[in-house]
């Protein structure tokens, strides 16, 4: 039987912090929203708006409200924009090793405030590997899709189940990559400081990889860079390494001058929602970037760094 390698002390310390994060990083849900932006918004207005909480008031649904209890995950919250139009896109987000659903809820509130129905999920066990988190993310999508036809749901008739994407933090980011391998019909992936060595993620799903140059748990060299380099050149891909960013850089969309939130939103808007107006937001290199490599096959691509690709191991192990 293959035995997992020991977790390093830095990771063990991080686990405790992650497990305690819960709701510490929260957007106020009491704020009165402004009028939602229209299709006439300029690129400058879109870029400025992406740095902030969106215009929609956010409400939530949980299992006690009647949503499906998926077998591949443990507990979840659907965050949705109140009063937004029909055909809403879907995102599902998974936390990292030993972390709770609460650690990624700030992203649920943030994306929902910009018109994207977003489910944050927990895992059946806090120490499950990335592949299990990938299955959990896909199961979460099924839960959100089920709201389209559920009697009494405020989302009944308002969802576009075909426009769905996934995101995750740390092992959850590795899980998001696995989800794209399992279901290449997904529209977008956001892998936040993804932890998953030894796997080549050769899938067609547009992928944003967030990394931090100070991350000692899932370093760019061992994780984010191999993920990016193994992505086919025919797949839209972006490696955004944040200057001074550590493994906790995704704890809130507001971190690092809110640029991680803005770029994540622009990626989801472009590829999951299908709003090409956000392409110009992606094409502008953030001030916080130490690496910003954007490749959009068949599209205009102005911002890119040249750097040596890391060697990508070809083994099939999952690590731990």
Residues annotated as catalytic (active site), given as ranges: 170, 215, 247
| C-alpha span between 44 and 47 (Å, rounded) | 5
| C-alpha span between 95 and 18 (Å, rounded) | 9
Helices (H), 183-238: 225-230
Residue 197's contacts (CB-CB under 8 Å, 6 or more residues apart) are: 222, 223, 226, 313, 317, 319
Does residue 164 sit in helix, strand or coil? strand
Q: At what angle do helices 43-50 and 259-267 cross, to 10 degrees?
A: 120
Question: Chain centroid to CA 198: how far?
Answer: 21
**In this structure, are residues 14 and 248 in contact, taking their beta carbons and an 8 Å threshold?**
yes
The HSE-up count of residue 191 (CA atoms within 13 Å, CB side) is 35
Token readout for 106 is 């700030």
Length of the chain: 320
Token readout for 257 is 């001058």
Strands of the chain, DSSP E: 58-61, 76-81, 88-94, 117-121, 159-169, 188-192, 207-212, 237-242, 289-295
Element (H or E) spanning 264, and its range?
helix 259-267
Token readout for 311 is 């060697």
Does residue 39 sit in helix, strand or coil? coil
Sheet holding 188-192, edge to edge: 58-61, 76-81, 117-121, 88-94, 159-169, 188-192, 207-212, 237-242, 289-295
């Amino acid at each position: 039987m293959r035995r997992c390698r020991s977790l390093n002390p830095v990771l063990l310390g991080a686990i405790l912090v992650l497990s305690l994060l819960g709701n510490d990083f929260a957007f106020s849900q009491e704020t009165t929203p402004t009028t939602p932006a229209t299709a006439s918004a300029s690129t400058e207005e879109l870029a400025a708006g992406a740095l902030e909480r969106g215009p929609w008031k956010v409400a939530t649904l949980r299992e006690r409200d009647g949503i499906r209890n998926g077998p591949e995950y443990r507990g979840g919250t659907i965050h949705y924009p109140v009063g937004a139009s029909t055909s809403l896109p879907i995102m599902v987000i998974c936390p990292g090793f030993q972390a709770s659903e609460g650690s990624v809820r700030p992203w649920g509130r943030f994306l929902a405030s910009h018109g994207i129905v977003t489910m944050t999920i927990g895992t059946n066990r806090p120490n499950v590997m990335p592949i299990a988190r990938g299955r959990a993310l896909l199961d979460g999508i099924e839960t959100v899709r089920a709201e389209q036809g559920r009697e009494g749901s405020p989302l009944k008739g308002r969802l576009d189940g075909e426009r769905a994407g996934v995101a995750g933090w740390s092992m959850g980011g590795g899980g998001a990559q696995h989800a794209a391998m399992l279901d290449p019909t997904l529209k977008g992936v956001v892998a936040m400081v993804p932890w998953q060595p030894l796997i080549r993620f050769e899938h067609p799903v547009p992928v944003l990889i967030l990394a931090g140059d100070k991350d000692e748990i899932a370093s760019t060299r061992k994780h984010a860079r191999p993920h990016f380099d193994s992505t086919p050149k025919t797949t839209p891909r972006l490696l955004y390494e944040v200057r001074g960013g550590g493994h906790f850089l995704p704890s809130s969309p507001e971190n690092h001058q809110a640029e991680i939130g803005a770029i994540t939103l622009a990626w989801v808007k472009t590829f999951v929602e299908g709003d090409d107006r956000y392409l110009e937001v992606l094409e502008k290199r953030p001030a916080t970037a130490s690496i910003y490599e954007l490749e959009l096959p068949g599209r205009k691509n102005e911002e890119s760094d040249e750097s040596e690709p890391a060697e990508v191991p070809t083994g099939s192990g999952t690590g731990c």
